[in-house]
Amino acid sequence: METFDVIVLGAGAAGMFAAIEAGRRGRRVLLLDHARNPGEKIRISGGGRCNFTNLHIAPERFLSRNPRFALSALKRFTQWDFIARVDAAGIAWHEKTLGQLFCDGSAKEIIAMLLADLHAAGVELGLSTTIDSWAKGAGGFRIGTSRGTIAAQSLIVATGGKSIPKMGATGIGYRIAEDFGLRVTETRPALVPLTFAEQDLAALKPLAGIAVEGRATANGTSFDEAILFTHRGLSGPAILQVSSYWREGCEVVVDLMRGRDAATALREMRGQAGRVAIRTALARMMPERLARHVETMSGLTGNLADQSNARIEALAGLIHGWHLRPVGTEGYRTAEVTLGGVETDDLDARTMEARKVPGLFFVGEVVDVTGWLGGYNFQWAWSSGWAAGQVA
Ligand code: FDA
């Protein structure tokens, strides 16, 4: 039987980072994945440029049943530590917006850096390997795989969540956790477009392709970013962000003119050149198709000059607070991440080790820690992987 000090399951961001760190400590590490290539999500991330971290990492930008859990790992291996690695590898990067750091060239450069580090740390990479069984006995862990049973003192589970099954996501990590007696919180798709009932969609469809710099609010949490109307419903960064807070039955409130006062602008237009249709006035502030839609929703008729202050206030209220009721999300097929996961109370926040199962670790997306859009999820993968790699 093959024997290693550490087996890491899942060669994504978190698993590769944990394996590198354990290997650097002189541990004999085997990194297993059923995929043919490591880091597939890194490759497609950030539109192929990988938004690998964020300058503004803070625990309140992560969702978890225990919001303080992520703090320790994020403080021990920070965004600055990861940036230093990227710099040392000679990878050029830039800040796009809101502290989001992207490669100038390609996400493949991040994968190449990690592969070089894995190689230098002496980690053995076992790709195209299925994981069939897992157990712990007196001598450590025994993992049944398509290349036979493999034994190790430590097991790091980095198999990610359920998002994008087409790319190899299986949710196996949750089963492993439960089999070892850890709890798993409810999981659901997050950072995902929102969908609508047929009759609402029929009204939204003509707006497909329109994007506005707006504000989306769900369950009391707001995000100021772009909102995109699609054939299936609503998307764009602001919507993906609020999707992590939205729950079935809740409304999403959209501000189509964030940072401007629609009522003042409309009153000024009424005073200067009010003999125009309402949609014509609105089209000076937003895309024309959207202007027509807002006019229809408002139920107002006639010219802008015909409208009382009260009606203009009501129209502005609609522009700044359009209430929509999604019926669901596009699901794991397109979700960037999975909300929920291995219960953080069952893990040591400093090391990611299971409290009741010495030698068993969970890192990355499989854990109940989910970041905002914008490089937060990769930073969690690096930080939690690093933490486990120091002790596994
Ligand atoms: P990850 O999912 O990366 O890796 C898990 C690994 O386990 C995979 O290699 C998989 O093949 C393997 N595995 C699963 N089941 C297995 C089984 N049964 N047997 C063997 N192996 C198995 N985040 C961010 O910060 N910035 C960004 O720009 C983006 N962009 C982005 C775009 C898209 C389209 C998606 C879907 C996601 C993002 N993300 C992101 C999120 C980010 O990709 C995600 O949070 C991390 O990849 C999570 O890293 P993990 O290593 O935990 O899981």
Q: Which atom of ligand 1 is nearest to the CA of 375?
A: 25
Can you give the pLDDT at residue 291? 98
Cβ atoms of 102 and 52 within 8 Å: the answer is yes
Ligand 1 near 11 CB (within 6 A): yes
What's the ipTM? Answer: 0.99
Ligand 1 near 111 CB (within 6 A): no
Ligand 1: residue whose CA is nearest its atom 6:
10
* d(C-alpha 357, C-alpha 330), whole Å: 36
Nearby residues of 26 by Cβ (< 8 Å), 6 or more positions away: none
Domains of the chain are 2-189+338-389 (3.50.50.60), 193-329 (2.40.30.10)
pLDDT in tens, 278-332: 999 999 999 999 999 999 999 999 999 999 999 999 999 999 999 999 999 999 9
Can you give the pLDDT at residue 345? 98
* d(C-alpha 334, C-alpha 310), whole Å: 42
Label residue 209 exposed, middle or buried (CB < 10 Å: 0-12, 13-18, 19+): exposed
Mean pLDDT across 70-75: 98
Centre a 10 Å sphere on the Cβ of residue 382 and count the other Cβ atoms it contains. 28
Instruction: State in Å: Cα 12 to ligand 1 middle.
Output: 6
pLDDT in tens, 147-172: 999 999 999 999 999 999 999 999 99
> In the chain, pLDDT over 70 holds for what percent of residues?
100
pLDDT in tens, 124-146: 999 999 999 999 998 899 999 99
Query: 274 pLDDT exceeds 90?
Result: no
Ligand 1: residue whose CA is nearest its atom 2:
160
Can you give the pLDDT at residue 208? 98
Query: 346 pLDDT exceeds 90?
Result: yes
pLDDT in tens, 215-265: 999 999 999 999 999 999 999 999 999 999 999 999 999 999 999 999 999
Can you give the pLDDT at residue 390? 98
Ligand 1 near 266 CB (within 6 A): no
Ligand 1 near 170 CB (within 6 A): yes
Instruction: State in Å: Cα 385 to ligand 1 middle.
Output: 13
- Mean pLDDT score of the chain: 97
Ligand 1 near 158 CB (within 6 A): yes
Can you give the pLDDT at residue 273? 86
